[in-house]
Chain A
């Protein structure tokens, strides 16, 4: 490790002012392009969080903890049974990924809102117990997105980071330091 530290320090020592500015700007570029990609995806998919990581085992054996889902949320596409939706419930910050089992649409009495009920494949009962107290149905405004694509295991890093916040800060610090110190 001693050798390594010296290497890094050596790099920094050899930098002049101009190079330092360049490194900082480079760091800024990386952060802002990540942000731009994320926001761009939000615009394209219409969903407020286009990529989510599955955090619970309630959809096993389809999705396990750490699987990555791509979401879209086009308003003109109707919600139908069998679809996997990600929704938010009042009073819970973490969105839930479950399957729609009941749809009642086009009520004539009110303005034709859609009401639907969800259930996790691995749960034995529907989700009414998870909804806010007194809430019997989900509506369109609760939906964050519908699952369109799926990649296994990729999100496990996110879960690790959430479970061990220290690990997250360590990784962020390492990456930041690396970008700032490393010479092109």
Chain B
């Protein structure tokens, strides 16, 4: 019964179960984090090509995640679609990087394109910041920051080229 193979097998199985146990503990340590914080978002110069300006703070940058994926969502309604969500900016924060963000006069990272022509004169565009936490192992919570900002687009298309 104590052949070389059976010992190898036992060691391998034990290693696997220890790793599984450890992974599960990793998951437990982060499973109950609320991952919430306040967000302040504001828009500056709103031409049809708008320039959002926001800042977000997170109290702590603990070791419970591999990365945070922050994204700024614009949500609005048009005549054609009841719900539109467009991500116009995102940022990846990796473990150990500074997680207190304070940006001013930032441009959007992606073009804010509508499916049709619903942005001109749109009265109610809501900007909100959310983040997706990628932990060491476990669930992938999607958290919306407290605090939104609303703005409207002008009635005329801007002809400037900036």
Contacts and interface: CB of A to CB of B under 8 A. Distances in A.
B and A form one assembly: yes
Contacts of A151: 23, 137
A177 to B, nearest CB: 13
B45 interface: no
Interface in B98-119: 110, 115
A63 B67 CA distance: 10
B87 interface: yes
B9 to A, nearest CB: 10
A4 B67 contact: no
A63 B85 CA distance: 24
B71 A147 contact: no
Interface stretch (A22-30, A35-43, A76-84): A76-84
Interface stretch (A12-20, A87-95, A102-110, A161-169): A102-110
A127 interface: no
A174 to B, nearest CB: 11
A65 interface: no
B137 A61 contact: no
Interface residues of A, number: 29
A14 to B, nearest CB: 15
Interface string B6-34: 00000000000000000100000000000
Interface residues of B, number: 32
Interface string A145-175: 0011111100000000000000000000000
Given A81-B71, A81-B87, A82-B130, A106 B92 contact: no
Contacts of A98: none
A112 B71 CA distance: 26
A48 interface: no
Contact of B69 (A99, A103, A112, A115): A99
B86 A150 contact: no
B30 to A, nearest CB: 11
Given A62-B134, A106-B81, 14 more contacts: A7-B3, A61-B92, A81-B87, A82-B130, A102-B86, A102-B87, A103-B84, A104-B115, A105-B84, A108-B79, A112-B82, A150-B137, A150-B139, A150-B140
Interface of B: 3, 5, 23, 66-67, 69, 71, 73, 79-87, 90, 92, 94, 110, 115, 130, 132, 134-140, 142
25 contacts: A7-B3, A61-B67, A62-B67, A62-B134, A80-B85, A81-B71, A81-B86, A99-B69, A101-B87, A101-B110, A103-B83, A104-B81, A104-B83, A104-B84, A104-B115, A106-B81, A108-B79, A112-B82, A121-B69, A147-B140, A149-B139, A149-B140, A150-B137, A152-B136, A152-B137
Interface of A: 4, 7, 61-63, 80-84, 99, 101-109, 112, 115, 121, 147-152
